[in-house]
Structure 1
Amino acid sequence: MNQTTLPLEIGADVPDVIAVDQDGNSIPLQSIAKKGTFLFYFYPKADTPGCIKEACNLRDNYKMLIDHGIKIFGISMDTKEAQKNFKEKYHLPFPLLADPEGKLVEKFGVTKKNGHASRQSFLARNGKIVWRNLKVKPETHAQEILEEVKKLNESKE
């Protein structure tokens, strides 16, 4: 299946979609995204080497990220059970959203490879996309997000 949607552009609204987290809770992305700064990061598959590296990089820098007001949602096309196992196994302090039908992948315009989401990130502030990275490096993802948020905060002052 070829994908014709393009990744959300800077300035686009966070999609009006209901996501499901690892515990089965419904998360209305657009309405929560209006309340601060959010990182929506897409990754191919829970508990695979690159995804472990990325999730642990965000986990290990979590305090710094939340100190800068960033709330994190990890998203993959895994089931909520796979997301729950991944979250628990690596003690991830942020919710993981299950997107087995690819609804979120489609709404954000994330490309798919071999039935999995590509590693892409979107930073939203007050409901709008303010930054995106379509080629995330798992090892330095948190540092890159912190740099972007610092720039955003400077430009706001």
Structure 2
Amino acid sequence: MVKVGDKAPLFEGIADNGEKISLSDYIGKHNIVLYFYPKDDTPGCTREACAFRDNWDLLKDYDVVVIGVSSDDINSHKRFKEKYKLPFILVSDPDKKIRELYGAKGFILPARITFVIDKKGIIRHIYNSQMNPANHVNEALKALKQIKEEEIS
């Protein structure tokens, strides 16, 4: 698995709107919260996604792009995003190649891991917790606050 301090592996994927996105589109412009989750519209994944949604105003203060990744297809992502009014990007990773790049595989279930990446493309924080999905946004916010403080000083 990648570690804090590593350069974030670049990837391309298909977003919930059907368009191709690339992580390199955001590096140099925004901080990035990249989170991997097991499956759309399941209890833990819904709690996690809604926690990011419910903290959206706080996240926006940190010039951040949030990208959720699972192996669900585009139609599933579209329904999940519409149902819960998610204001961020969901990327389909059906062959689990993006997961493999980050070492976010998991054992029985696909891992629930959040990576905070700064504007230079460096991984600044990793939070791995299958059992506490709603805490992923809190961990991301702590890391983003630290990045912002470093930019100011």
TM over 0.5: yes
Q: Which residue pairs with 1:29 in the alignment?
A: 23
Q: Cα offset for 1:152? A: 2.3
Q: Which residue pairs with 2:127 in the alignment?
A: 133
**Contact kept in structure 1, 2:38 and 2:110, CA below 8 Å:** yes
**Contact kept in structure 2, 1:39 and 1:72, CA below 8 Å:** yes
Secondary structure at the aligned position of 1:122 is classed as: strand
Q: Which residue pairs with 1:104 in the alignment?
A: 98
Q: Which residue pairs with 1:3 in the alignment?
A: none
Q: Which residue pairs with 2:2 in the alignment?
A: 8
Q: Which residue pairs with 1:42 in the alignment?
A: 36
Q: Once superposed, which parts of structure 1, at least 4 consecutive aligned residues long, lie more than 4 Å away? A: none
Alignment counterpart, residue 72 of structure 2, candidates 78, 81, 87: 78
Secondary structure at the aligned position of 1:112 is classed as: coil
Separation in 1, partners of 2:107, 2:20: 26
Q: Which residue pairs with 1:147 in the alignment?
A: 142
Separation in 1, partners of 2:144, 2:26: 18
Q: Cα offset for 1:144? A: 2.0
Letter aligned with residue 152 of structure 1: I
Question: Which deviates further from its counterpart, 51-60 or 123-132?
Answer: 123-132
Aligned pairs, number: 150
Secondary structure at the aligned position of 1:85 is classed as: helix
**Contact kept in structure 1, 2:127 and 2:136, CA below 8 Å:** no
Identity %: 35
Q: Which residue pairs with 2:110 in the alignment?
A: 117
**Contact kept in structure 2, 1:111 and 1:118, CA below 8 Å:** yes
1:80-117 deviation per Cα after TM superposition (whole angstroms, max 9, x unaligned): 11111100110000010000110110111102344x53
Give me the CA root mean square deviation: 1.5
TM-score (norm 2): 0.90
Letter aligned with residue 92 of structure 2: A
Q: Cα offset for 1:134? A: 1.9
Unmatched 5+ stretches in structure 2:
none
Separation in 2, partners of 1:93, 1:81: 16
Alignment counterpart, residue 62 of structure 1, candidates 36, 56, 59: 56
TM-score (norm 1): 0.88
